[in-house]
A and B are shown apart, each in its own frame.
Chain A
C-alpha cells in the first residue's frame, strides 16, 4: 500500500499557502517604528579616482537625516572574504580591502560611494541625486587576459598586479599530465567561455537595521541564505559587534540562487547606521541596483585538452582557466573556480591524470561569486563539451565514448582529491536514453527535415559534489568557516514538535520536507511538526543553505537530534511501562514493549517529560529537547544523464528546445514532487545560460545588460515539458538519510547538453561547426553558420555601448 505521508511521498508544499496568497513575510514587509530610508549613491563609471564627495547641497535637502561616506567607517573593517587560496608558488592570494563605501577609488559601475538616510524614500532618492562625487576617470580593466599584461592598469593600486592567485591542482601531477598529453594517440583541444550570469532572484535584496539602546543589541533583517554566517562575518570582521549583541533574521526569502549567501556592504551599512542614528534604517534594492550590486556568477575562460590512447580511453586532462573575480573578493569567490571546480574535473570518467590551472583576476566589474552550481557547472561544461568534440573528431558515438570511460567501481578515488562514495552512471545513461526516446530520434529528425529545420540531440553526463562538506577538509582547503549544520528538536508537552534548523529555505520547501522526515521517524502527522529557520535568536549556530546541502547536512543534523529525542523518550516510555529500555519500540506514534501488548502513546511520554510526576528523575532530566551538530564525512555525489533535443532554424539561427530529459541519481528522495520542481528550476536556469542569459560589459566597463530589456531571462513558454526521472538510486553511504541533494543539478548538467544538441543539429545538417560560445543566441548561431569563429579568449562579447543603448533599454526617452 502506498504511504500517505513521510519519506518518499509528495505532500504539497505547506509554505506555498502563504507565498501564493500574499501573506508571506519578506524583509521588505518589515517596517519598524521610526524607520528611516537609505539610498546608495553608486559609481556610474567602472574605474576612477574618487577625489572628493560634495554632500553639502544634498545635506540641506528636505528630510535628510545624515549622509554617510567612507570617512564614517573609520575603525570598521571591510567586507571580509571567507576563503583563502594558496597559489602554486606557495604565496597566499592577494586580498584587497573591500570597503563598505568607496575609499579613494571606485572600481565598478555600481560601487557604493555614499549613502543618504532620510525620513522618506523619495526624500532619500532626491538627495542622493544631489550628492556630487568628484571622480577622475581611469582606464577600465575588463578583459581578463589584458588585465594580466605587465603594463595593465591595476584595479587595486596596493596590489602587485591584477592576479588574485595562480592555482595549480594537483600540482604533483603537472609533469605527468604534460607527458601524457605529449604521448597521447589523440588530443582534443577546446577554448570556451562560461558566460557571466546575473542570478536575478524574484525578490531583490533588502536590509533593515535596528538598534535597541536599552540592551545594546543590534538586529539586522536581511535577504540571506545564511543568517548565522552574516552575523559572524559582519559582527566579528566589519562592525565589531559581539555575537551575543547581534541578531540576524532572514525571514521569507524570495529566491537566492547563491547570490544571497554573501555578506554585502548594504547589510553592514544598515546595521551600523541604525546604531549611529538610534533609529531603524531600511534599504530596498531597486531592480537596476540588483543588476550592478548583486554578486554575478560564472565568467570563466578556459582552454581544455583531453588526451586519449589509441583505444579512445581518456589518459589525461589539462585545463587552463581564467576566472573573473570582479573588483573585490566576494565572500566565497576564491573557492568557486578552485575547490568547487578543480575537484570535479574527473567527471564521471576514470581519467587517471588531471591537472587544473586557474588564474583568478581582478577586473572593474561587479564581484563574481557562487551562482547555482558554483564551479561545478563550469567543470561539467568543459568536460561534456570536450568529450563531445573528441567523439566528433574521432568519428565515434559520443554516448559510447562516455560509457567506455565511465567509472564503474565505487568507492572511487579521483586524481583530483575527492573520493566518490557511490554511483551508477550506466544506469542513469540507460534511463536517460529511455525517457528521451533516443531510439526514436532519427524519425523525429526526418520530420524536422521535412519542415526545413535541423534537429539535434545532445547529451551530458554530470557529477557534482554536494552537501558541502567536511569541516576539517574544507579548513585544509582554505575555508575560514566550518561547514557542519545544526538542528534543535524541541518536543512540546502535548507532543507537537518545533525543529530549529540551521538550514535556510528560500524556495526549497524545507518546511514541508523536513517535517516529513520527523513525521516518519516518530510516526505522527507532519502537521504536528513546525520547521523554524532563518533567525539567529531562534536557531542554533548554522551554516545555511547553498551547495545543495540542506537535506544532506541540515537534514542529517535534524535526524541526529531527533534520534537523541527518541532515545530519551524511550527511557521515559520504559519507565512508564515498567519495561526494559532495550525492549521499547516506537512505531506510528506508539511506544510498545517487544513481545507484549503494552503500549503508551507519544503524547503521553512527551507530557510525562514536562509534567514529571511519574518520571525517572534520578536517571534523566525532565524535558524533551535535543540539539545536534552534524559534520559530514564526505561530500555527496549526485550524478545524472541529461539529454536535450533542439530544432535549429537554419535561416535565422534560432534554437528551439523541443525536448529535454533528465535522469538523476539523487540517492534517496524525501519528496519526489519537490525534487522534480528543483530539477525544473535548475534546468530553466541552465538552459537559460546556454541560450539566452548573458551579462555583458563593454570595453569601458559599462554594464550593457543592465535591465530585462537586454538580459534575457528564460520564460515558461521557451521551454518544453521536461521529462524528469530520479528512479536510479544509489544511496549516499555516509549520511543517515542516504540523500545527496538536488538543488543545483539541473543548472549543472543542462548547459552542455543544449550546446551539444545545437552542434549536433548543425553538423548533421552538413554545417561543420566545432563550438559556439554561450549563450547560443540566434545571432551567434547564425554567425557561426556563416563561418565566424567562436568568441575565443574574451570573457565578454565586444559590443559597443552606444550600440546597445537604443530604444530597447527601458528609460531611453
Chain B
C-alpha cells in the first residue's frame, strides 16, 4: 500500500468537498478498494471514508418504495429486509462471507459495478434508482458496462431506491474460486411486467434479458423460458471458469430457477 491521506467526514457535503482533492477516492466498505490498494494497484492521494455519514445509512420502506442508504452494509440489508423483501435480503446475505457483509456496502457495490457483483442485478431488476449527491439516475442508465457507471468525477452514491416487486428471486451460480457469481439472475415480477437482470455473464456487465422479460410478462412460469433462444455466447465473458457458451447457457438455467423459486 502506498501512503495516502485519510478523511472521515460526517456529512455528504463534507464528503463531496473532500473528494475534490486530486486523486481522491471514496471509500465505502473497501472490499474492492482495500485489496487493490494493498496490491499497490491503486495509488489514491486521499481516501475519503463514507462510513461515518449517518444520512447515508439505513433502510426505509414506504409501501413498496424502498430506500437504502449508500453506506448501508450487506449485513444490515439482509437483516432489515428479511420480512419485507426476502429476495433482496437473500441477495445481500449471500455476498462474500460474514466479514465482507459487515463491511461492504450497497453504494460501494453499485458504484464499482463489478461485472460479477450481485447488487447491480438486484438493483436493475427492482426498478432501481441511484441517488447521488447531485441527482437521481435510473439503474437502466446508471450501469454502463464493465466497471463503468454514469457517475461523474467525485460524485457519491448516497442511496439506492427500489420498488419491492410482487415476487422475486435471485438465482446465483458461483465461480468456485472467488465465489462471485459466475452467472446470476435476478427476476422481479411487478404488476406491470417482469424484469430479468443478469450479472457475471456479459462482457458489458449487468444487463436485462429482454426476451425473457417479454416471455415472462405474458405468463410468469419457468416453462416460458424453455422456448427462448439461449443468449449469444459471443457476448459473454470467457475465462478459466467457463466459456461464453457456458455462461449463456447458465443465463437460461438460472432464469428458470429464479422464476420457479420466486
**A contact residues vs B (CB 8 Å cutoff):** 125, 129, 288, 651-652, 654, 691-692, 694, 696, 704-705, 708-713, 777-779, 782-783, 797, 799-800, 803-804, 806-808, 810-813
Contact = CB atoms under 8 A, between A and B. Distances in A.
Interface in B32-74: 35-36, 39-42
B178 A692 contact: no
Contacts of A712: 176-177
A710 B117 CA distance: 16
Q: Counting chain A CB atoms within 10 Å of each CB, which of B146, B176, B238, B239 scores highest?
A: B176
B243 A777 contact: no
Contacts of B238: 800, 803
A669 to B, nearest CB: 34
B239 A812 contact: no
A295 B238 CA distance: 28
Interface string B20-35: 0000000000000001
A691 B176 CA distance: 9
Given A709-B178, A777-B241, A779-B241, A810 B253 contact: no
Interface residues of B, number: 30
A777 B176 contact: yes
What are the 4 A-B residue pairs with the smallest beta carbon separation, nearest first?
A: A712-B177, A779-B242, A712-B176, A811-B41
Nearest to B41: A811
B176 A810 contact: no
Contacts of A704: 240
B40 A652 contact: no
A783 B39 contact: no
A813 B176 contact: no
Interface string B222-258: 0000000000000001111111001001100100000
Given A691-B176, A797-B240, 8 more contacts: A696-B240, A708-B177, A708-B178, A709-B178, A711-B177, A806-B116, A808-B241, A813-B147
A806 B177 contact: no
B119 interface: no
Nearest to A711: B177
B173 interface: yes
Contacts of B246: 778-779, 782-783
B173 A692 contact: no
A813 B42 contact: yes
B36 A807 contact: no
B36 A783 contact: no
B56 to A, nearest CB: 23
B259 to A, nearest CB: 14
A245 B40 CA distance: 40
Q: Is the interface of B mostly helix, strand, loop or mixed?
A: loop
Interface of B: 35-36, 39-42, 114-117, 146-147, 173, 175-178, 180, 182, 237-243, 246, 249-250, 253
Nearest to B147: A807
B177 A807 contact: no
A710 B240 CA distance: 8
A125 B39 CA distance: 11
Given A692-B177, A807-B115, A807-B146, A799 B240 contact: yes
Nearest to B250: A652
A810 B39 contact: yes
A803 B237 contact: yes
Q: Counting chain B CB atoms within 10 Å of each CB, which of A288, A803, A807 scores highest?
A: A807
Contacts of B241: 710, 777, 779, 808
A808 B35 contact: no
27 contacts: A129-B40, A652-B173, A652-B250, A652-B253, A654-B173, A691-B176, A692-B177, A704-B240, A705-B240, A709-B178, A710-B177, A713-B177, A777-B176, A778-B176, A778-B242, A797-B240, A799-B240, A803-B238, A803-B239, A806-B115, A806-B237, A806-B239, A807-B147, A810-B36, A810-B39, A811-B35, A813-B147
Q: Is the interface of A mostly helix, strand, loop or mixed?
A: loop
B100 to A, nearest CB: 13
B65 to A, nearest CB: 31
Given A694-B240, A779-B243, A125 B177 contact: no
A760 B36 CA distance: 43
Contact of A804 (B35, B39, B180, B240): B240
A783 B116 contact: no
A129 B178 CA distance: 28
A125 B173 CA distance: 39
Contacts of A797: 240
Given A811-B35, A812-B41, A783 B177 contact: no
Contacts of B117: 807
A651 B253 contact: yes
Contacts of A711: 177
Nearest to A807: B114
Q: Counting chain A CB atoms within 10 Å of each CB, which of B147, B238, B240, B253 scores highest?
A: B240
A804 B35 CA distance: 18
Contacts of B40: 125, 129
Contacts of A803: 237-240
Contacts of A782: 246, 249
A808 B36 contact: no
Contacts of B146: 806-807
A482 to B, nearest CB: 41
A322 B176 CA distance: 28
Contacts of B249: 782
Nearest to B3: A122
A652 B117 CA distance: 20
A777 B243 CA distance: 12
B36 A811 contact: yes
Nearest to A718: B176
B116 A807 contact: yes
A692 B117 CA distance: 21
Contact of A710 (B41, B147, B178, B243): B178
A711 B182 CA distance: 14
Contacts of A800: 238
A651 B182 CA distance: 15
Contacts of B175: 808
A749 B114 CA distance: 39
B184 to A, nearest CB: 12
Contacts of B178: 708-710, 808
Q: Counting chain A CB atoms within 10 Å of each CB, which of B39, B241, B243, B253 scores highest?
A: B241
A803 B176 CA distance: 17
Nearest to B205: A807
Q: Counting chain B CB atoms within 10 Å of each CB, which of A129, A709, A779 scores highest?
A: A779
A350 B42 CA distance: 61
A811 B39 contact: yes
Contacts of B41: 811-813
B14 to A, nearest CB: 25
B172 to A, nearest CB: 12
Given A806-B115, A808-B180, A799 B239 contact: yes
A708 B238 CA distance: 18
Contacts of B114: 807
Nearest to A653: B246
Contacts of A709: 177-178
A783 B39 CA distance: 35
A694 B176 CA distance: 11
A808 B243 contact: no
Contact of A783 (B35, B42, B243): B243
Contacts of B242: 777-779
Contacts of B115: 806-807
A757 to B, nearest CB: 18
Nearest to B175: A808
A804 B175 CA distance: 12
Contacts of B116: 806-808
Contacts of A696: 240
Nearest to B36: A811
A710 B239 CA distance: 10
Contacts of B250: 652
A651 B195 CA distance: 23
B237 to A, nearest CB: 6
B250 to A, nearest CB: 7
A425 B240 CA distance: 39
